Structure 1
Amino acid sequence: MTTTSQGLTAPYALARFRIGDEVRPGLVAGDRIRPLGEAELGPGGLNGFLAAPDWGRLAALATSVPGSVEGWMPLAEVTLTAPVEPRQVLQTGANYRQHVIELVAAGLTQNSDRTPDEAREFAARMMDDRKANGEPYFFIGLPACVVGDDVPLVLPAYSEVHDWELELAVVIGREAFRVSRDEARDHIAGYTIVNDITTRDLVFRKDMKEIGTDWYRSKNAPGFLPAGPFLVPAPFIDGADLNVRLELNGEVMQDASTSDLLFDIPALVSGASQTMPLLPGDILLTGSPAGNGQHWKRFLRDGDVMTGTIQGLGTQVVRCVAEQATG
């Protein structure tokens, strides 16, 4: 098993890359990539393949000595973009146990007579009860916000509190509708990385607090879901214990494990599928651990570089630029 310059350790993975003005699906093996067409993926393209993936077919291609067979190119010489083409984006909130405990405990310490230790113990009991008896919290994002890290993240000028949230994303394979937890893994094609960008001062409505959260305005500006660079097949990834790490300009901001998820991946896929069918190629974000900008009181600025790595899935590098004034 080789490692690419972008941190991929699986024997092969899927990607999408630019050839001129065209974006093509590709197969990555080691430090090489080759385009995939109808002969390899079938007439349904990438999402059609994910609906009924023939990983053996791609494995045979990946072991055909990349570099010595026509069609393979150096990975370093192509521009990768988002490896997925979702029709739906499902997002999970408040799903890292320790992160939520810290948030709840901070609020309790400020608004009650509890000591910090008492507040954490109370919050931990709340989270354990939620895990045992509660349900995942979902909201939806716009597929149009999904981009690759080849696209700079433009920070909208209407706010100065744009935040990062690195997340493991499940890529749906076979359509999932009202599936059980035991059936859920049969509907997972693979995994990728997504950074769920959030404008913090737009999360809660100020004009009518009773309405609550406004996920549309706070999370759906152009490019607010940088994804990839790879789609790693599910057989190569154990999503139950992966390191999730984000660096901002080289400084570690998030560093946690998916073992801290309140609701695990089968529970999330099952829960999300109860309302609407999850379609091949859709992505389901699993939540983000502690260490976002709100915690550090430091938000994204022009020139910032975010380096997000999830164990086994590679590394994405997102460059931030300020929105240019118009008029």
Structure 2
Amino acid sequence: MKFSLGTFSRDGSDKFAAICFDERVIALREVHGQAVRGGATWAEGASVLDLLQSWDRHLPQLLALAQELGAQPDAGVAMSSLRVHPPVDLPRQVLCTGANYRKHVVDLTLDMGVGPEGLQGEALRQWAEDMMDERAAKGEPYVFPKLPSAITGAFDPVVLPATTQKSDWELELAVIIGRPARNVRREEALDYVAGYSIVNDVSARDLIARTDYKMLGTDWLRSKSPPSFMPFGPVLVPACFVDDPQDLRITLKLNGQTMQDETSADMLFDVARQIEYISSHVQLWPGDLIATGSPAGNGTHYNRFLRDGDVMDAEIEGLGRQRNACIAEPGAH
């Protein structure tokens, strides 16, 4: 029985972890006795992050519980009656892979006119495509951290800071780690994935490059980590229910107009390669989140950035939907 996990609250109450069947939500604390009788070992008030700490033990227990609860169609409440929080509340680490979709990087190259002097039009496109092919064959992922404090819920507002005029959307497949991972081989990397979700890696484009000291290069703190700059969720879908993370449709609409519509097949470095690369440099822990890169169709391509009153509707095949209204931070103009 397919299920997902989420974190919710009702009428200002404390957050609770839940098992979800599509839009039907059952609080784990309400079925804890039933779960324990079936062999579950998690505590009554366990969070999703708690479950991830011993994921290899808890997943079979959750599968058994889901089989029982799936036969109880009247159990639980509608997700629409609850506040939806990020499924993993404040992961320890959030890591983002940049420039990881072939068409996205090619489009940026053309939009910005970056390339050998004199190249333009189709010649510039061909140069960019050749460069991406070489990077995929010989290069490495480009990864940067994002502060967990930027995370917000899948239906919460995105606050546009007063410090930027170019807030941009980047809908991405999110990977949630389920085992401690260090120096993991690509061939085994997907065994370390607990599940998948959705993130929108909102970015302040005009704050990425430092103008006061150009030798410093990119400034990911101010451009990526303002509060609410990473809608996450609505749920975590266990990896066993995702047949192929490299074959998921990713779409985002702005005020009803489709802006992004690609698939994860366009990644330069697939999920397994990203985990291999990241774990070769840092320690990954259960609950850590990896944002795997944005497909083509960002605001930079359209020269259209987020404004007060905009609404983003986003979806990744099989993982759920997000809806985020944009509001200006007090003092923004």
TM-score, normalised with respect to structure 2: 0.89
Deviation at 1:175, TM superposition (A): 0.9
* Pair 1:60 & 2:64 matched: yes
* Pair 1:32 & 2:24 matched: yes
Deviation at 1:303, TM superposition (A): 1.1
Q: Work out which of the residue numbers 273, 278, 288 in structure 1 matches 2:284.
A: 278
Report percent identity of matched pairs. Answer: 44
Any residues of structure 2 matched to 1:1-327 within 5 Å, and which? 11-19=2-10, 20-37=12-29, 39=36, 40=40, 42-43=42-43, 45-53=47-55, 54-65=58-69, 68=72, 72-85=76-89, 86-107=91-112, 112-237=117-242, 238-325=244-331
Deviation at 1:150, TM superposition (A): 3.7
TM-score, normalised with respect to structure 1: 0.91
SS, match of residue 194 in structure 1? strand
Cα pair distance change 1:68/1:129, threshold 3 Å: closer
Tell me which stretches of 4 or more aligned residues in structure 1 moved more than 6 Å. Answer: none
SS, match of residue 122 in structure 2? helix
SS, match of residue 63 in structure 1? helix
Deviation at 1:277, TM superposition (A): 0.9
Which whole-Å CA distance do the structure 2 matches of 1:314 and 1:69 have between them? 20
Of the structure 1 ranges 68-77 and 282-291, higher mean CA displacement relative to structure 2 is found in 68-77
Q: Deviations over 1:23-68 (max 9, x none)?
A: 1111001332111247556246422322432333223332335594
SS, match of residue 324 in structure 2? strand
Aligned length: 317
Deviation at 1:283, TM superposition (A): 0.4
Contact 1:197 1:224 in 2 (8 A): yes
Deviation at 1:106, TM superposition (A): 4.4
Deviation at 1:144, TM superposition (A): 1.2
Deviation at 1:120, TM superposition (A): 1.7
Contact 1:135 1:271 in 2 (8 A): yes
Deviation at 1:114, TM superposition (A): 2.4
Which whole-Å CA distance do the structure 2 matches of 1:106 and 1:157 have between them? 26
Of the structure 1 ranges 163-172 and 54-63, higher mean CA displacement relative to structure 2 is found in 54-63
Which whole-Å CA distance do the structure 2 matches of 1:275 and 1:199 have between them? 27
SS, match of residue 104 in structure 2? helix
Structure 1 unpaired stretches of 5+: 2-10
Deviation at 1:307, TM superposition (A): 0.6
Q: Deviations over 1:182-210 (max 9, x none)?
A: 12111100001000111111000010111
Of the structure 1 ranges 29-38 and 253-262, higher mean CA displacement relative to structure 2 is found in 29-38
Deviation at 1:112, TM superposition (A): 2.4
How well do the aligned residues superpose, as a CA RMSD in angstroms? 2.1
